[in-house]
Amino acid sequence: MAADLPARGDDALRAGVAVTDITPKKPVTLAGYGSRKDLSQGVHDPLSARAVAFEQGGKRLVLLSTDLIGFYKGTAEVVRKAILSECRLQPSELFLCGIHTHSAPTPALAGSEAHPNNIEYTEWLTRRLVEVVREALGRATPVRIGFGSGSSPVGINRRQPFLDKDGKPQIKLGRNPNAMTDREVQVLKIARADKGELAAVLFAYATHSTSLGPKNYIVSGDVHGLAEQFVEKHLGGGVVTPAFAGASGDIDPWCRVLPEFKTANGWIPEPVLLGTLLGEEVVDVANAIQKLDANGPVRSAMKVVDLPRKTLDEAQTKAASILSAFHLTVGRVGDVAFVGLGGEVFNEIGRAIKTASPFPHTVIITHCNGAGGYVPTKQSYDDGGYEVKTSPYLPAAAEQLVQEAVRLLRGL
């Protein structure tokens, strides 16, 4: 259920956008790689949080993109509680998302074993996120929106088959051009209704933002973050461009886990190259969107999905302790639907939800409102691999998740 807003003189679709810097001011531990222990050693590009707040007919929907890996170890619940309370939102009205860069601070709570700088950073971050959502809500004005779709080769299926020393087929993290990869670039264009000025360009694309690996100690938004920065710089005029990671549990960037930003002899660093390539497609798709309308409604719903779980051994239980319940959040703005998945789902699962959705446009967003772990496809369990090994779920989880998502979408 969404909270009612004060009555307005009309029922126009409104939206407000805001952006704030969330670059750490002190060295911090970076997220995503267990082997990386030391503190960060500098900043390549700034990190930001970008909020888009929709409202119509007393209903609200806030999409909050952060240039972070996501929110693990209970941080999602704490940060969400602060935003919901301070901004008077209902749980389903907030999509708290990370772009899944592995070159940003690890959010951490007081009392944990995390570095004190990360705990201090997270407390500061929470206040920044409250303010950027409050600012977006306060800036809501009549808008018109349009949707477009493109394609990018930046992401590639990472489940690479090989034969071990005994000749047995195995799966490793690498590059598999023969496996399914969802290359769709989903773009939502938001323009102010009065003068037609562009306010925001929201985009979603399925890839891990892991062109940088565990040997990198420089802060960066990686592929998604650099794409956001490129689009904002190219479009100018204060346009805000929140990015979201699509269904990418089995997708990495074409160039992956590199040790650094290479620049010798005129070399263009791969993270910059990939981010720019993705950003150029976002701009092309946005420029091609001509049909804009102000149709509602704005609606949302949320559910904690009880996916079937494995029986874990002691080591697996310890590894899974950073995970949370799997949160499924859906929303709609007119004919555009949003599916927020609180985990890392394979790209086939995202495609299945888009295909079965009752909406003409369905944006898939992962690392949203929680960190429930990997959800592989049922077929992938026979092949094994990192995602299957570390997933806390049984093979039936994927089908159940698709069914639950479509059911909630139909309820909107």
CA dist list (Å): 56 to 11, 83, 137, 399: 6, 20, 12, 33
> DSSP string of 370-383?
S---EE--TGGGGT
Q: For 199-239, write each residue's pLDDT tens digit.
A: 999 999 999 999 999 999 999 999 999 999 999 999 999 99
Q: How far is CA 104 from the centre of its chain?
A: 14
Q: For 12-71, write each residue's pLDDT tens digit.
A: 999 999 999 999 999 999 999 999 999 999 999 999 999 999 999 999 999 999 999 999
How high is the pLDDT of residue 4?
Answer: 35
Neighbours of 357 (CB within 10 A): 19
- Under the banding of pLDDT at 50, 70 and 90, the label for residue 280 is very high
Task: Give the span between the Cα atoms of 187 and 137, in whole angstroms.
Answer: 21
Q: For 133-187, write each residue's pLDDT tens digit.
A: 999 999 999 999 999 999 999 999 999 999 999 999 999 999 999 999 999 999 9
Lay out the sheet containing 336-341: strands in order across. Answer: 298-305, 326-333, 336-341, 361-366
**Is the per-residue pLDDT at 306 higher than 60?**
yes
The amino acid at residue 125 is: L
Following CA atoms 201, 282, 245, 160 in sequence, which dihedral angle do they give, to the nearest 10 degrees?
Answer: 180
How high is the pLDDT of residue 203?
Answer: 98
Q: Which structure tokens are listed for 344? A: 């890392």
Which residues are CB-neighbours of 386 under 8 A, at least 6 positions away? 171, 172, 173
Establish whether the linkage from the previous residue to 27 is cis, with ω within 30° of 0: no
How high is the pLDDT of residue 5?
Answer: 37
- Under the banding of pLDDT at 50, 70 and 90, the label for residue 314 is low
Q: For 116-132, write each residue's pLDDT tens digit.
A: 999 999 999 999 999 99
The amino acid at residue 277 is: L
If residue 146 lies in a helix (H) or strand (E), which one and from where to where?
A: strand 141-151
Q: For 165-179, write each residue's pLDDT tens digit.
A: 999 999 999 999 999
* Residue-wise burial string across 276-303, b where 16 or more C-beta atoms lie within 10 A, e elsewhere: bbbbbbbbebbeebeeeebebebbbbbe
- Pair 328, 302: CB distance under 8 Å: yes
Is the pLDDT higher at 15 or at 316?
Answer: 15
Task: Give the span between the Cα atoms of 204 and 227, in whole angstroms.
Answer: 11
> DSSP string of 280-336?
HHHHHHHHH----B----EEEEEEEE---B----HHHHHHGGG---EEEEEEEETTE
**Is the per-residue pLDDT at 10 higher than 70?**
no
Q: Which structure tokens are listed for 107? A: 């959010």
Supply the mean pLDDT for the chain. 95
β pairing state of 94-98 and 59-66:
parallel
* Residue-wise burial string across 107-143, b where 16 or more C-beta atoms lie within 10 A, e elsewhere: bbbeeeebbebbbbbbeebbeebbbbbbbbbeebeeb
Going by C-alpha positions, the residue among 322, 361, 304 that lies closest to residue 145 is 361
Percentage of the residues of the chain whose pLDDT score is greater than 70: 96
> DSSP string of 47-110?
-EEEEEEEEETTEEEEEEEESSS---TTHHHHHHHHHHHHHT--GGGEEEEE--BSSSB----T
Task: Give the span between the Cα atoms of 141 and 145, in whole angstroms.
Answer: 13
Task: Give the span between the Cα atoms of 392 and 262, in whole angstroms.
Answer: 37
**Is the per-residue pLDDT at 1 higher than 60?**
no
How high is the pLDDT of residue 2?
Answer: 35
How high is the pLDDT of residue 322?
Answer: 73
Q: For 84-104, write each residue's pLDDT tens digit.
A: 999 999 999 999 999 999 999
How high is the pLDDT of residue 312?
Answer: 74
How high is the pLDDT of residue 357?
Answer: 98
135: left (phi over 0), alpha (psi -120 to 50) or beta: alpha
Residue linked to tokens 């929140």? 242
- Under the banding of pLDDT at 50, 70 and 90, the label for residue 409 is very high
What 3-state class would DSSP assign to 271?
A: helix
How high is the pLDDT of residue 317?
Answer: 72
Going by C-alpha positions, the residue among 167, 154, 164, 161 that lies closest to residue 204 is 154
Q: For 105-114, write each residue's pLDDT tens digit.
A: 999 999 999 9
Q: For the purposes of burial, counting CB atoms within 10 Å of the CB of 106, is it exposed (0-12), middle (13-18) or buried (19 or more)?
A: buried
